[in-house]
Amino acid sequence: MHKIFVALMLALAVATPARAADLNDYPTVARADYVFGCMKANGDTRQALEQCSCSIDLIATILPYDRYVAAETAASVSQQAGQIGAMFRNSRMTKDMLADLRRAQAEAQVRCF
């Protein structure tokens, strides 16, 4: 288990930093998936569509897609019970990735909602 964790963390760590503003690398399906979930959480209205679209567009200007995927994956895995979840919850790298994601989401919340 520990080897899997270390391998995954190394793979996430080697992702080269890039300015998200220079990239439009979020696939349409990823943006649509975000908007769909966001709308479900915010009332399935036209206003929610506009706010949620704004939100993912803003997140995309803050986090490159590979870092977004890594943070979303870390968030999902860290919610798991047991040893694997604990390794992720207690990892400094995971905490940093989640903090970056939360900052991007908070900025999107302030500017779009």
pLDDT at 11 over 60: no
In three-state secondary structure terms, 108 is helix
Q: How many CB atoms lie within 10 A of CB 108?
A: 22
What is this structure's pTM?
A: 0.75
Q: What is the pLDDT of residue 83?
A: 85
Please provide residue 61's backbone torsions phi and psi, each rounded to the nearest 5 degrees. Answer: -80, -15
Phi-psi region of 45 (alpha: psi -120 to 50; beta: other; left: phi over 0): beta
List, for residues 21-80, the tens digit of each pLDDT value.
455 689 999 999 999 999 999 999 999 999 999 999 999 999 999 999 999 998 998 888
